[in-house]
Each structure stands twice: as structure tokens, then as C-alpha cells.
Amino acid sequence: RKAAYAALRDVAPETKDGHRLTVMVNAGLRDDVAALDVTGADGIGLFRTEFQFLVSATLPQRERQQRLYREVLDAAGARPVIFRTVDIGGDKALPYLIHAEDEENPAMGWRALRLALERDGLMKAQARALLEAAAGRTLNVMFPMVSEAWEFDEARALFEKQRDFLASRNKRLPLEVNYGAMLEVPALAYQLDLLLPSVDFLSIGTNDLTQFLFAADRANPKLAERYDWLSTSILRFLRRVAVPAAQAGVPVGVCGEMGGRPLEAMALIGIGIDRLSITPAAVGPVKAMIRSLDRGALTAFMDELLARPPRDLRGALARWAAEQGV
């Protein structure tokens, strides 16, 4: 099997009926970039920049951040990299940055963009580091835990201000900057009309989204079996995001662990998601699934399934996949 997956390295993730999907990998450290060559993935769909902060004893200064981002872009070459601004705070507290005030619910606490917009010195330094590292190329950046459209607008404006500053100093700039929002807080789905006109792409973080949608702690093993990614609520929710985004011409991907499981990835494709960013080990199995898939037939099946969902949605999807030879 491993050899079969390795043989798929240079083969495109295209369905039997000719839809070219995008399969990227999740990364966070300099050495993770090697996974691009090993798997033949289309790029890095989620680069978790907080890893550098978490493995560091002191706050990484702008130059150090910039060096990492440049090395990652150099190694990725022509393949796109989507940098996520720091997702720290809450349970990923940094002793050198935050007064570690105990929070009762750190996952729902003062973290990610909430913290970054307030401690904006941190975000400004990161913006400068990213913009300078991507001089002469495309920069793709996305913001974690966006809960309301105005938070995205503020983060984007902060980056644009740094870009103007660099321009006023005659510094070389990125050729293009694409800004995306992570959709992992359910509330944001009810502001898509406000958000879609100003984002270049959306990336759905199903790890956090699931925990918030089901009110089920993602780190609690007692709940892991209870709330299935292949559930009516999650799939209907995701479809209600994917459809208006597609109508607005905004690409939508999934970057949570859900996309790395072949049956889950199949269900995502069936509701209109055509970009996945997954753990490198999952690229082979997911590509193999995609290449055996008739997307037209799957879409029709999923429409019917979600209109009258059985209690065992996973079972129904698995049976369909087996019948179709997926």
C-alpha cells in the first residue's frame, strides 16, 4: 500500500470525471516543508506560525521570524504557502508574552486574533516579517479564530498599513498579497455576506469548528467517539458555507484533521469543498480516494443523503463508497 501511495506522488488529485482538486499539507516548522517533495502536494495550506513561538524560550524577534518565513518560501518554490498568523493564548500560553491569567475555558478565551488585535505590536512585527520575507513573490496570509467580519477587516488593514510603510521606505514588496479568514467559530457563518466581499479565500478549521458546534472539548477523549465528523449538523453547516462562497467566487478549503481521512474527505468533496490541507501521511490515501471518485455521482448522492439523513450517516457513506469502488 505504501508503495502504491508513493507512486501517486507525481499524479494529480483528479476525479474520474475530470475535476482537479487541490491537496495541500499542514506544516509548522522549517523541516516540515520537506513533506512537499515527499508527497507531491500542491502546497502548504496551513503553516502554523505559532510553532516557532512555542518552541522558543524568548519571543522570536522580527528578523528571526522573517528568516523562517523566507526559508519556507524558498523551499516551497512555485508552490503556494498559506501562513496563518499566530494562534496563541488560551491553552497555548507563552510565559514570556502573556500574564498567565487562569481562564476557565481557554479554548474559548483570549487567544489567536482576539489577542493579536489587542497586542498589536506582535501582529505588526509578524506582518512586517511576512511582507519582507515574501518580497518579489506572492504572500498568502490567513487569520485564526475570526468570529466577526470586522475582526478580519481590522487584521487586513493592519497588514496593509505595514505594506504602505514598507512602500514609503522604498522596500521591495510582495507582488501580491492574498488575505484569508479561518472559519472555525460558528458565529462567522452568519456574517458571510459581510465577509465574502473582502476575503480572498476561506479556510475552515474543522478541529475547532466541531468543538464549538457540538460544545464538545476537542481534547477530551471521552467525547472523541461521540461526535462524529460525519454528522448531519457538520456537513449541513459546511455546505451552507461552501455554497455562498462558491457563488461569490471565493475559494474555500478545509484545513482541519477531518480532511485527512479518506471517507471524511469524500464527504467534503461531495458538498462542494475542492481544497484540502491535510497531514502529510494522509496525502497518498486521500489522493487514491479522489482518483477513484465520480464527483458528479457523489454530489447527487450527498444531496439526497443530507435531505433525509439516516442516523448512521457514516455507515451510509461507507456503503456507497464500497459500492462505487471508492
Residue 90 contacts Mg ion per CB under 5 A:
no
Residue 264 contacts ligand PEP per CB under 6 A:
no
Which residue number, 208 or 264, has a Cβ lying nearer to ligand PEP?
208
Torsion region of 112: left, alpha or beta (phi above 0 gives left; psi -120 to 50 gives alpha): left
Please, where are the H alpha helices in the chain? 2-7, 34-39, 50-54, 62-76, 112-118, 120-133, 149-168, 192-195, 206-213, 221-224, 232-247, 262-270, 283-291, 295-307, 313-324
Q: Quote the CA–CA distance of 287 and 107 in Å, as a whole number.
A: 32
Residue among 314, 307, 163 at smallest CA distance from 227: 314
Binding range to ligand PEP, per CB under 6 A, among 98-106, 205-213, 225-233, 290-298:
205-213
Please, where are the H alpha helices in 169-201? 192-195
Residue 48 contacts ligand PEP per CB under 6 A:
yes
Q: Quote the CA–CA distance of 50 and 162 in Å, as a whole number.
A: 20
Residue 235 is placed in which grid cell?
A: 456537513
Residue 205 contacts Mg ion per CB under 5 A:
yes
If binding means CB under 5 A, how many residues of this protein chain bind Mg ion? Answer: 3
Judged by CB under 6 A, the residue of 87, 132, 151, 274 near ligand PEP is 87
Binding range to ligand PEP, per CB under 6 A, among 1-9, 69-77, 206-214, 304-312:
206-214
Residue 256 contacts ligand PEP per CB under 6 A:
yes
**Residue 89's binding partner out of ligand PEP, Mg ion, none, with CB under 5 to 8 Å set by partner kind:** none
Residue among 129, 127, 182 at smallest CA distance from 156: 127
**Residue 295's binding partner out of ligand PEP, Mg ion, none, with CB under 5 to 8 Å set by partner kind:** none
Least distance (Å) from Mg ion to the CB of residue 198? 21
In the complex, which residues of this chain contact Mg ion (CB under 5 A)? 184, 205, 208
In the complex, which residues of this chain contact ligand PEP (CB under 6 A)? 46, 48, 87, 184, 205-208, 255-256
